[in-house]
Amino acid sequence: MKKTDVIIIGAGPVGLFAVHQLGIKGLKAVVIDNLDKAGGQCIELYPDKPIYDIPAVPECTGEQLTTRLLEQIKPFKTEFFLNERVDEVHQEKENWVVKTNNQKEFIASNIIIAGGVGSFEPRKISLKEAEKLEGKSVFYAVRNKEQFKNKKISIFGGGDSALDWALELSKFSKITLIHRRNEFRGAQHTLSEIKKLEKEGKVSIKTPCQIESLDNQSELKSITIKFDDGKTEKISTDVMLGFFGLVMKLGPIAEWGLNMNKKTIEVNPENFETNKKGIFAAGDICSYPGKLKLILSGFHEVALASVECFKRARPNEKYRFEFTTSSKTIQDRLGKK
């Protein structure tokens, strides 16, 4: 079990800035996130979209904001636990113990939940049969491409993931690329590569159509797709890959005994503490009168929460408010001479 001062759940902008606010107060934190990288919605939903309302930053993309925040918290050498979803939270005397889906355990006097709208999970095909075949012949991510060698693969989706994997897997498998409309959205050179492979007969493209059914219940043999004009077509398939983007699921957070308001956690707007002492919520996931779901509000929320975290993590020390411009202690922590 790993011991720290604060466990931050969520590596989005607000979780990252929490590291900073805790770090300048001398508190250690770990960050846990279900995605494989830091950035949260900024990196997953709008990496290329400009954001115009970060104070003193007239314009930056979701990806730039993430990179800058990571740069800003570098001095604190914080440990990140990615691809980990927090499943359980329970109390042990004055501390909280957090357990992830991969059985990793953490203990701290404080938890900051900066979980956005919950964890990102791939959107799945809504057919019952697909559920039974998931992990056997229906997949929503490619973890090991070796297992997709010399197969007949049907790829669904019209974005970068679908296109990139169609290209990659076409090197050693027969690919059918299926999308609900005629337009794909992806990098220009990827699109022209795909068109080239279609001409060479290595990739077959079916649009505009959607999945109608999976044939053969225990083992996938073929799928049936339905075109917009009502025609159907059977496609011989061993493996089906779906890239329909991600959905946000609140998941286990709802079961931790916190006071919830729809999909958000109620907090005290003085310190962003929930109804459980030492558990805080900030960013899109918290609610209080007048709450605005803005990144800048999340920054403010973790700044205040970090003060309360200090009091709990260092009960024998007095909290002193300091400015980064004048505090020698803070400048030391930031590695500035």
Partner 1 sequence: MPKITYKDIQGASKTIEVDNGLSVMEGAIQNEIPGIDADCGGSMACATCHVYIDEKWFHKLPKAESAEIDMIDMAFEPKKNSRLSCQIIVSDELDGLELTTPEKQT
Which residues sit at the interface with partner 1, rule CB under 8 A? 41, 45-46, 117, 123, 126, 157-159, 179-181, 183, 185, 228, 244-249, 263, 284, 293
Shortest approach of partner 1 to residue 73 CB, angstroms? Answer: 24
| CA distances to 236, 311, 314 from 317, in Å | 68, 8, 5
Q: Which is nearer to partner 1, 242 or 278 (CB)?
A: 242
Q: Which is nearer to partner 1, 126 or 144 (CB)?
A: 126
Shortest approach of partner 1 to residue 146 CB, angstroms? Answer: 29
Place of tokens 């070796």: 146
Shortest approach of partner 1 to residue 46 CB, angstroms? Answer: 6
- Look at residue 290 and give its three-state secondary structure: coil
Helix (H) or strand (E) holding 209: strand 209-215
> Which residues make beta-bridge pairs with 3?
107
Residue 268: Cβ within 10 Å count: 14
Query: Whole-angstrom Cα distance, residue 98 to residue 92?
Result: 10
Shortest approach of partner 1 to residue 263 CB, angstroms? Answer: 7
Shortest approach of partner 1 to residue 117 CB, angstroms? Answer: 4
Measured in Å, how far apart are the chain's first and last C-alpha atoms?
Answer: 35
- Look at residue 333 and give its three-state secondary structure: helix
Q: Which is nearer to partner 1, 159 or 269 (CB)?
A: 159
Query: Whole-angstrom Cα distance, residue 85 to residue 40?
Result: 13
Q: Which is nearer to partner 1, 151 or 293 (CB)?
A: 293
Shortest approach of partner 1 to residue 5 CB, angstroms? Answer: 31
Q: Which is nearer to partner 1, 43 or 197 (CB)?
A: 43
Please work out, in degrees rounded to the nearest 5, the angle formed at the alpha carbon of residue 233 by the alpha carbons of 228 and 162: 75
Q: Which is nearer to partner 1, 249 or 277 (CB)?
A: 249
Query: Whole-angstrom Cα distance, residue 29 to residue 2?
Result: 11
- Look at residue 190 and give its three-state secondary structure: helix
